[in-house]
Structure 1
Amino acid sequence: MYQWRVDHVRAAEAAEDVRLSDEQALRASLDGDVQAFGVLVERYQEVAFRAAYLVTRDAGAAEDVCQEAFLRAHGHLGRFRLGEPFRPWLLRIVTNQAKNHVRSRGRREGLLARLRPRAAEVASGPEREVEAAERKEQVLEAMNRLSLEDREVLYLRHFLDLPEREIAEVIGKRPGTVKSRLSRARGRLRTVIEERYPALAAEEMGMTDA
C-alpha cells in the first residue's frame, strides 16, 4: 500500500510467525529490531488507512498520511508508554497527520481562490490604471523567472498581503525562515528587474524592498 510496507513486508511476515504481542513487538522495536516494528505495520495498516481516509476523503492522500504516520510513530517510540494500548496512540498520530494534510490543502486551495479575483481586478480596471497594470505584468514576468519557493513567498506577501507569521503557517516554516526567504527572493527579483526591465527598476518597486 505504501513504501514502509514495501520495505518491510518480508521482515514483518517472518516476525509474525512468532506471534508477537503488541508489547513484545514494541519492546523489540525499542531495542532496534526493525522486523518487530514491521509486525505492527502489518497489523494496523488497514485501520490506519481507514482513519486517514475518513479525514482526507482521498485514497492517495490517505496512503501518504499513513506512510508519514508510521515513520513518525517509529521515530517517536521512545515517547510511548509501554503497557498502554498501541492502537489508540498510533491512530492519534494518524488523525493528526490527516488533519494537518487537510488544513494545508484547504489553505492552498483558498489561496488560489483569493488570487483569481485579484487577476480579474487588474484585467477590468479603468484606463487610467492601464499603465500600473502593465508595470505589474512586468513584475509578474520577472517573478516567473524565479524559483517556485521564491515566487511562493513573494505572492503570499505582496499579492495577498499576508504577514510573515501567517506565511509561516501556510508554508509550514518558522517566521525567521520566512523573513530570510523573503529577503533573498526580493534580492533575486530586483536583479531580474534590473537586467530585463531597467525602466521599471528605476521606479520605486515596493516588492523589492523589505
Structure 2
Amino acid sequence: MIARVRAGEPEAYAELVRAHTGIALRAAAALGAGADAEDVVQQAFVKAYCSLGRFRAGAAFKPWLLSIVANETRNTVRTAARQRTLAGREAAFAEAEPLIPEATDPATATLKSERRTALLAALEKLSAEHRLVVTYRYLLEMDEPETAQALGWPRGTVKSRLNRALRKLSRLLPGLEPWEGGDERE
C-alpha cells in the first residue's frame, strides 16, 4: 500500500486514512486531545503523508502513524496550555469509540460506566510513560511489538514499564474485579 502511495496513487492513501482513522481518533482522545482529536488526527495524517519518504520499507504503518498522533496530541495539548479534566477526557474517549448498544440491563451499564471512570481516574495517577504504555497496549489493543515501535522503546522497556504500571493500577484499584473471562480491557 505504501509503495502505491509513493508511486503517486491518491486512492491508496485514502485507503490508509479510512483504515486507520478510528484507531487514530481513539489514540488522540485517550492521550488527551479532547475536542481537538479530529484536528490532531487530520494533522497527523498530513504529517505522515509528508514523511512517507522516511517510512521504513517493511515496517508496520499503524504504530508509525500512532507515534505521529501521540506527538501531535502532545503538541496540541502543550500549545493550548490547559489541563484537560478527567471528565473531558472520558467524554472525548467515549465519543471516539464506535456506537455499540450498551447492555440491556441498566445495572450492568451503570457498573461498566463506574468501572471505566475508576480506571481512567487511576490512569491519571500514573506517570506519563506508564499511562502511555497502558493506553497503547490495552486501550488501543496494540500488541507488544507494535507498542514498542509506536513508542520508540525497546521491547524490554515496554515489558518492564507495563509490568510496573499494571502493579500500580492494581494498588490503585484494589476492589476492581475483572469481567467474566478475566478480560480487563474495557
TM-score range, shorter chain: 0.3 to 0.5
Greater C-alpha radius of gyration? 1
Greater RCO (CA < 8 Å, at least 6 residues apart):
2
Could you say which structure has the higher helix fraction? 1
TM-score where L is the length of structure 2: 0.44
